[in-house]
């Protein structure tokens, strides 16, 4: 029996946990009476805490409720990370876990990596190896630290695998396990293994395939927003690089106002962004009949908006890929991206927060046909991850 502690905290991690949970369930079902079962305990740091950013996703996406909730949302970043590390360390000292599973690049990822390393528990990092090469982004620091601590680094793309290789992390086929200089006397659970990467594909692509049809059946968002016969673009803004920067926010909103003269703009507003908008900006947006400011939507509703939008503007890592999965052109509201493949494929343009560049990118892409290509795996990334975690432990026993 392998017992994992899975750490979530922010919305995209909860969504990724859905794919991982499905894969664990199907692994266990196919090994009912064997000693290879995998159990997971979910720890929620509380980084995102609004119902529509967290709790509602567990029910909708069929994820077991977290067994531990640290409730550290709303604190300043450093205090939040410190409390997360303490809470996760406490759980790791109370109960025995064989491994800690982390997703992506948030403060919860960072805290989980540090707490697990201090407790000498192997770390499995899902969505490893991504680099934007911009170290002013907190997400970049979080992913670099998490990757440097992880035992197995599950990469979504060949670019991510290459990035790790350049940093000295070999892919599994080229790794020598365990470290050659370790003496026999130290052969116990803590025997160091050389960290290695395994390219498994993207768990969000698994989710796109799994939830797409379900969204068509269950979501009524298009009818609710009267969008069934009305062309629209979808926009999201939440990265600190934009949400915490008034000049960037003003410029992006200016671009959306221009685009809204041509077609409707749907903007599900992230709480971080909302908290930074001045009352004047909020008033101006609400008064614009062509911009629909809405609360964050459920994942199934978001899928429907993505599938039926004519184009997507976003600074989100997840949303820019989902645009590609659903064949939609995308204006990326950042100067760089970790998901370079979609830019190289001509499906997305990096426009940053510059109003004119955003409008120019929109004009270039608005009639573009995006042909989904097989860049993110075979839709079974989570299954490959679960299989590899099992192999990791069997190679140590």
Give the footprint of ligand UDP on this chain (CB under 6 A).
11-12, 15, 104, 236, 238, 268, 296-297, 299, 302, 316-319, 322
Q: How far is the CB of 347 from ligand UDP (least distance, A)?
A: 17
Q: How far is the CB of 387 from ligand UDP (least distance, A)?
A: 24
Q: Pick the catalytic residue: 238, 270, 308, 384?
A: 238
How many CB atoms are closer than 10 A to CB 191?
14
Q: Please, which residues have CB within 8 angstroms of residue 276's CB and are 6 or more apart in sequence?
A: 243, 244, 246, 249
- CA 316 to CA 149: how far, in whole Å? 25
Which CB, 91 or 139, lies closer to ligand UDP? 139
Which CB, 92 or 348, lies closer to ligand UDP? 348
| Cβ proximity of 170 and 198 under 8 Å | no
Nearest by Cα to 103 from 60, 44, 167: 44
Q: Distance between terminal CA atoms of the chain?
A: 12
Q: How far is the CB of 261 from ligand UDP (least distance, A)?
A: 24
Q: Which residue has the tokens 């990467």?
A: 197
Does 290 participate in catalysis according to the annotation? Answer: no
Q: How far is the CB of 274 from ligand UDP (least distance, A)?
A: 12
Which CB, 163 or 316, lies closer to ligand UDP? 316
Q: How far is the CB of 14 from ligand UDP (least distance, A)?
A: 9
**Structure tokens of 120?**
């000498």
Chain centroid, CA 308 distance in Å: 22
Which CB, 119 or 209, lies closer to ligand UDP? 209
Grouping H, G, I as helix, E, B as strand and the rest as coil, residue 97 is: coil
Which CB, 307 or 384, lies closer to ligand UDP? 307
Per DSSP, helices labelled H in the chain are: 11-29, 55-60, 77-94, 107-118, 138-149, 158-166, 203-218, 221-224, 240-243, 246-259, 271-276, 279-287, 299-308, 317-325, 340-344, 355-365, 381-396
Q: Which residues are catalytic?
A: 238
């Amino acid at each position: 029996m392998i017992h994992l502690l899975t750490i979530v905290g922010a919305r995209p991690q909860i969504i990724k946990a859905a794919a991982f949970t499905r894969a664990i369930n199907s692994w266990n079902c196919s090994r009912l009476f064997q000693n290879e079962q995998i159990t997971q305990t979910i720890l929620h740091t509380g980084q995102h805490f609004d119902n529509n950013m967290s709790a509602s996703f567990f029910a909708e996406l069929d994820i077991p409720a977290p067994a531990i909730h640290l409730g550290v949302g709303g604190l300043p970043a450093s205090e939040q990370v410190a409390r997360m590390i303490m809470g996760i360390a406490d759980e790791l000292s109370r109960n025995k876990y064989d491994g800690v599973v982390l997703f992506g690049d948030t403060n919860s990822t960072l805290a989980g990596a540090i707490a697990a390393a201090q407790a000498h528990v192997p770390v499995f990092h899902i969505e490893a190896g991504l680099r934007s090469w911009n170290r002013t982004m907190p997400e970049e620091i979080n992913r670099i630290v998490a990757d440097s601590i992880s035992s197995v680094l599950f990469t979504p793309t060949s670019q991510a695998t290459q990035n790790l290789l350049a940093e000295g992390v070999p892919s599994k086929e080229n790794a020598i396990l365990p470290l050659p200089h370790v003496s026999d006397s130290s052969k116990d659970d803590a025997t160091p293994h050389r960290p290695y990467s395994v390219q498994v594909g993207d768990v969000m692509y698994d989710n796109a395939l799994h939830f797409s049809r379900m969204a068509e059946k269950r979501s009524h968002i298009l009818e609710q927003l009267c969008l069934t016969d009305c062309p629209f673009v979808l926009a999201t803004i939440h990265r600190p690089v934009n949400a915490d920067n008034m000049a960037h926010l003003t410029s992006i909103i200016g671009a959306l106002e221009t685009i809204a003269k041509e077609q409707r703009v749907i903007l599900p507003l992230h709480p971080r962004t909302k908290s930074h908008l001045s009352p004047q900006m909020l008033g101006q947006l609400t008064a614009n009949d062509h911009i629909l400011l809405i609360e964050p939507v459920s994942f199934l509703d978001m899928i429907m908006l993505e599938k039926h939008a004519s184009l997507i503007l976003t600074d989100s890592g997840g949303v820019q890929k989902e645009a590609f999965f659903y064949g939609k052109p995308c204006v990326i509201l950042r100067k760089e991206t970790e998901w370079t493949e979609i830019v190289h494929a001509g499906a997305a343009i990096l426009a940053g927060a510059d109003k004119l560049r955003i409008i120019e990118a929109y004009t270039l892409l608005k009639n573009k046909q995006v042909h989904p290509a097989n860049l993110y795996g075979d839709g079974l990334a989570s299954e490959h991850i679960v299989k590899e975690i099992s192999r990791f432990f069997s190679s140590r026993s």
